[in-house]
Structure 1
Amino acid sequence: MSSATRTKHDLIARIAAINIAVSLTVVTLKYVAYAVSGSVALFSDALESIVNVMTALAAYGAIRWSSKPPDSDHPFGHYKAEFIAAMFEGAMIAIAALLILYKAYSGLVHGVVFEQPGLGLAISVLSTVINGGWAWALIRWGTTHRSPALVADGQHLFTDVITSVGVVAGLAIAVATGWYILDPLLAGAVALHILYMGYRIATDSMSRLMDQAASPEIEGRIRGVIEANGHGALEAHDIRTRQAGRALFIEFHLVVPGSMSVDEAHDICDRIEHSIERSIEGSEVVIHVEPDHKAKPEASGAVPL
């Protein structure tokens, strides 16, 4: 692993460690908001943030594990550990949703008594502002550094922000109008929303664990780089990609003239590999060289050179 790659891994790990501290701060604020107000809706918000702490810990562990270099048992590295953390996050969200639904049902049956709703709302607004800023930063950094665990955490926090805004607005209406039944109803709506988001995070991570291909935009860039740097070869075909955490594995067949020497073909491969790896961060390229009678101009996605 190069020093630049190691530095990037360390940076992502530091961000994940800070994420744990931010999550602990937010969950403390939200629990205080629930404790002083007695609101079931604010309880649901606090419970989701407890899940945030658990998933922040899982994300940190996965990021540290995924940064380990390849070994004899894992020659392609440990990148997929981040997808496992994202799936764990989806499962934890689902559990939190069920607990919130139970609390909301209890509030509907037994009623809710507010104590200091104004103070609770003020503390909840503060925690929401912190969460919103941090969610934006996590998604931005996770996308920049190709970290699925950070992106998943940021997306989860962003849904937390959306639900918190809804809870605060609804609770303010309930206090102003005296319609206290809105409180457990809001908690139920929060539960259903985060249950859906947990499902989306888990299914997306499962798809990537099953070697999901790169996006059409990335695959288009790969073909463009091959076309621009493949002079001397005749064609590239059977281009395949698979995403594994921050790594993107790319492989394809490169057709060269049958009379070309091994050295010449190797030089072309080196030129293409280096160009792709410079253009697409985290890419690892494998090229299979074939003689001209193996050309497949009719193949889908073939790149004539």
Structure 2
Amino acid sequence: MADDDSSQVQAKARAAVFDVTRLSVGIAVALIALKAFALGASGSMSLMASLADSALDLVGSLAVFFAVRWAAAPPDDTHRFGHGKGEPMAALVQAGLVFASAVFIGWEAVARMLTPTPVTGGWIGVAVMLVAIGLTALLVWRQNRAIAASGSLAVAGDRAHYAADLAANVVVLIGVVSGAFLNAPGLDAAAGLIVMVWLAWGAAGLLRQSADQLLDRAAPLEVQNAVVAAVMSDDRIRGVHRLRTRMAGTAVQAQMHVDLDPDLSLKAAHDIVEAAEARVRAALPGAEVILHADPASVTTATGPWAEPAR
């Protein structure tokens, strides 16, 4: 019954992730069309920067769209641990795209600061940016809900990017207003530089998160504690040690040794271990856990459970 409940939770989480990735692609396409129209009407540097960012948003959103579906595929003969690492791979691609966008935007902003270009069609630019802010805010809200349901790293990376875009769009709006209505095109170029810095900062955080998963960094401490708590809820398990964890997309993969009464039969020890693994899967849907039974008298001096194997 617990495994059935866990499967239902996973199915709902996948549905939420699939829905929000479709929305992300759709909004990226809409924003590209709107910003391209506004750029043609205004010639704003900050709008050009925002358009370039939206174009890369589309590439990143498409990468996430396909990555979360591939990551959700069950293990097969060539991927015995599943496909969960597809999510950090997509996040890594996003980080690279955002860095490339930041470099391009910075280059163009400096050129515009050295050779200011008047901004025209201010009202069109303002209207488009207000629509962009509204659509981006809607997407970030939906992504927050999907992350709460699934914990998806790929969606979290997409959300981080669009959350940065939300603030960047406000900066772009300021740049358009200053260039079109305040006769200060240099401020418009400066707004492009602010967008560049914001994107580079967000990309650095995304790169760190995706690298942690690809390099098998241990799961967060609260996840480790949840795994241990689920295992230790059976009084017949006297202790745990040699805990190893890593994240594969949204799922935790854990291995550990458990201390049992040395006089238990093999069948009894097996049943205790199987029940403990089921509790972990129930507490952390999608978890893959392998427990090894040790006689307690042999392992009393192994040290704290968080200590890595030697």
**TM-score where L is the length of structure 2:** 0.90
From 69, 86, 90, the counterpart of 1:85 = 90
Alpha-carbon distance in structure 1 between the residues aligned to 2:96 and 2:34: 24
Tell me which moved more, 104-113 or 280-289: 104-113
Contact 1:235–1:295 under 8 Å retained in 2: no
Return closer, same or farther for 1:98/1:54 CA change in 2, 3 Å cut-off. Answer: same
Aligned equivalent of 1:275, options 276, 279, 285: 279
1:202 to 204, 207, 214: 207
Equivalence map 1:92-131=2 (5 Å): 92-131=97-136
8 Å CA contact 1:86–1:202 kept in 2: the answer is: yes
- 1:235/1:302 contact within 8 Å kept: no
**Contact kept? 1:237, 1:296, Cα under 8 Å:** no
Partners in 2 of 1:293 and 1:179 — Cα distance?
Answer: 78
8 Å Cα contact 2:175/2:189 also seen in 1: no
SS, match of residue 118 in structure 2: coil
- Counterpart position of 2:290: 286
Instruction: Return the offset for 1:58.
Output: 0.7
Counterpart of 1:57 in structure 2 is 62
Give the count of matched residue pairs: 302
Shift of 1:298: 5.6
Q: Deviations over 1:127-166 (max 9, x none)?
A: 1111111022113303421221111111100000011112
The correspondence for 1:153, drawn from 151, 158, 162, is 158
Report the counterpart of residue 29 of structure 2 in structure 1. Answer: 24
Q: Specify the code of the residue in structure 2 equivalent to 1:69.
A: P
Secondary structure of the residue that 2:246 maps to in structure 1? strand
Task: Give the match for residue 138 of structure 2.
Answer: 133
| Per-residue deviation, 1:13 | 2.7
Output the amino acid matched with 2:289.
V
Higher relative contact order (CA 8 A, sep 6+): 2
Aligned-partner Cα distance in 2 for 1:179–1:8: 48
Q: Does 1:253 align with 2:266?
A: no
2:185 partner SS: coil
CA contact 2:41–2:121 (8 Å) conserved in 1: yes
Identical-pair percentage: 23
Opposite residue 115 of structure 1, the aligned amino acid is T
Instruction: Quote the Cα distance in structure 2 between the aligned partners of 1:106 and 1:170.
Output: 16
The answer (yes or no) to whether the contact 1:255–1:295 under 8 Å persists in 2 is: yes
- Find out whether 1:177 has 2:182 as its counterpart: yes
CA distance in 2, matches of 1:15, 1:134: 8
Q: Is the 8 A contact 2:120 2:180 kept in 1?
A: no
SS of aligned partner of 2:297:
helix
Alignment counterpart, residue 46 of structure 2, candidates 36, 41, 44? 41
- Counterpart-to-counterpart distance in 2, 1:286 and 1:32: 56
The C-alpha deviation readout for 1:65-112, integer Å capped at 9, x for no partner, is 112221121100111011111000000111111111222122123221
Secondary structure of the residue aligned to 1:181 is helix
Give the TM-score normalised by the residue count of structure 1.
0.92
